[in-house]
Amino acid sequence: EVQLVESGGGLVKPGGSLRLSCAASGFTFSTYSMNWVRQAPGKGLEWVSSISSSSSYIYYADSVKGRFTISRDNAKNSLYLQMNSLRAEDTAVYYCARDLGRIVGNAEFDYWGQGTLVTVSS
């Protein structure tokens, strides 16, 4: 059974940093692109970042570019999101999601974690 379990969320002050983790199991992690998607309270979904299976291709939303860094450790079946210079508008539930990769050049998120809440407030 495919499982994605996020951790690392919490309360942080503006300007602070936080590192999110996503532990994957039930599939060959090293062969899939992975993503972070966030959802601010009462708002819609916002894609944050994606990383290819071998970390060769990395993309970021403009809203986080230069502040967030996505990475993965295929030996540990884990995905990470290092978040620096956090702002109040980064407050959201952060989901990790697997990209099935059915068709090149498209993104299909077939499995999602349960999410971890990040709150940026003084």
Binding stretches for another protein (CB under 8 A): 35, 37, 44-47, 50, 59-62, 95, 100, 102-103, 105-110, 112-115
Cα distance between residue 102 and residue 93, in whole Å = 26
Q: State the minimum distance, in angstroms, from the CB of residue 94 to another protein.
A: 11
- Cβ atoms within 10 Å, residue 104: 5
Cα distance between residue 71 and residue 55, in whole Å = 7
Q: State the minimum distance, in angstroms, from the CB of residue 68 to another protein.
A: 13
Of 16 and 115, the one with the shorter C-beta distance to another protein is: 115
Q: State the minimum distance, in angstroms, from the CB of residue 47 to another protein.
A: 4
Closest CA to 52 of 31, 82, 22, 73: 31
Q: Which two tokens stand for residue 23?
A: 């532990």
Of 16 and 46, the one with the shorter C-beta distance to another protein is: 46
Q: State the minimum distance, in angstroms, from the CB of residue 63 to another protein.
A: 10
Contact between 87 and 16 (Cβ < 8 Å): no
Of 66 and 105, the one with the shorter C-beta distance to another protein is: 105
Contact between 19 and 64 (Cβ < 8 Å): no
Of 41 and 75, the one with the shorter C-beta distance to another protein is: 41
